[in-house]
Chain A
Amino acid sequence: ETGVTQSPTHLIKTRGQQVTLRCSSQSGHNTVSWYQQALGQGPQFIFQYYREEENGRGNFPPRFSGLQFPNYSSELNVNALELDDSALYLCASSLGAQPSYEQYFGPGTRLTVT
C-alpha cells in the first residue's frame, strides 16, 4: 500500500504566473482535501474533492481551483500567483468525506512566489 505522494517537492514561480500541484491519494481513498500551510502556521483548508466533485471550500478566492480524476488523484491550480501564496501545500486523502475519517497527509509541495 503506497502512501500519499505529491509533486513537485519544490517550486519557484513569479507573481502573476499559474501553477499546478499534483497529489496521488492512498489506494482505496475516494476523498482528497487540500490545505495551505504558511510558515509557522497550521494548515488552512482550501477545498475538498469527493468522488470527483468539489465537496466544500474554505475561505480562498476562485483563483484557487482543483480537479479530482477517476483514479481519485487530484490537482490544485492557482492562477495569478501573489507573493502571499508562498506556502507549503498539503493534500490529504481519506476513505470518506467527513473529518472523522482519518486523513493521510502527503509531504507537501513548497511553493515560493517571487
Chain B
Amino acid sequence: QQQVKQSPQSLIVQKGGISIINCAYENTAFDYFPWYQQFPGKGPALLIAIRPDVSEKKEGRFTISFNKSAKQFSLHIMDSQPGDSATYFCAASISEGNDMRFGAGTRLTVKP
C-alpha cells in the first residue's frame, strides 16, 4: 500500500546542523504533501505541507523543497536543535480523496 518512499531511515545531526529527509512518490495524482513530526508516546502532528504549484515552502526553520518532474520532495530543518529529535513522516494524498499515504519514517537525533 505504501506509495511513498522515505529516506534515510535514521539520521544523526549535530546541534546547529541541517537535517535533510527525502521522499519520493509514484502516483502523479497526489497533490498535497504534508510532513508530520512524532514524539514517543504521541500521535503525529502536522509540521508543514506543500502543494505542487510551488517548488518551496518555508516556515521558520522548516523548509519543504518540491520537484514535481522528479516526483520527489524533501524536508530541510535548519539550525537543528535537540528538541527536534523525533520521527518525521512524509505523506501524500489527493486533495479530493481521503486516503493519506505515509512514508516509513525517519528517526532524527540531534546531538548537543
Contact = CB atoms under 8 A, between A and B. Distances in A.
Contact of A107 (B43, B99, B104, B105): B43
A106 B41 CA distance: 10
Contacts of A2: none
Contacts of A40: 104-105
B105 A45 contact: no
Contacts, number: 73
A15 B42 CA distance: 27
A59 B1 contact: yes
Interface stretch (B59-67, B71-79, B88-96): B88-96
Main SS at interface, chain A: loop
Interface in A54-102: 55-56, 58-59, 90, 92, 97-100, 102
Query: Which interface class (under 10, 10 to 19, 20 to 34, 35 or more) fits A?
Result: 20 to 34
B46 interface: yes
B45 A105 contact: yes
B106 to A, nearest CB: 10
B100 A103 contact: yes
Given A45-B100, A99-B98, A103-B46, 14 more contacts: A41-B105, A42-B2, A42-B4, A42-B103, A42-B105, A43-B44, A44-B1, A45-B99, A50-B98, A58-B1, A97-B98, A100-B49, A105-B42, A105-B44
Interface residues of B, number: 28
Nearest to A4: B43
A41 B95 CA distance: 23
B43 A106 contact: yes
Contacts of B103: 42
Given A59-B1, A106-B43, A98 B97 contact: yes
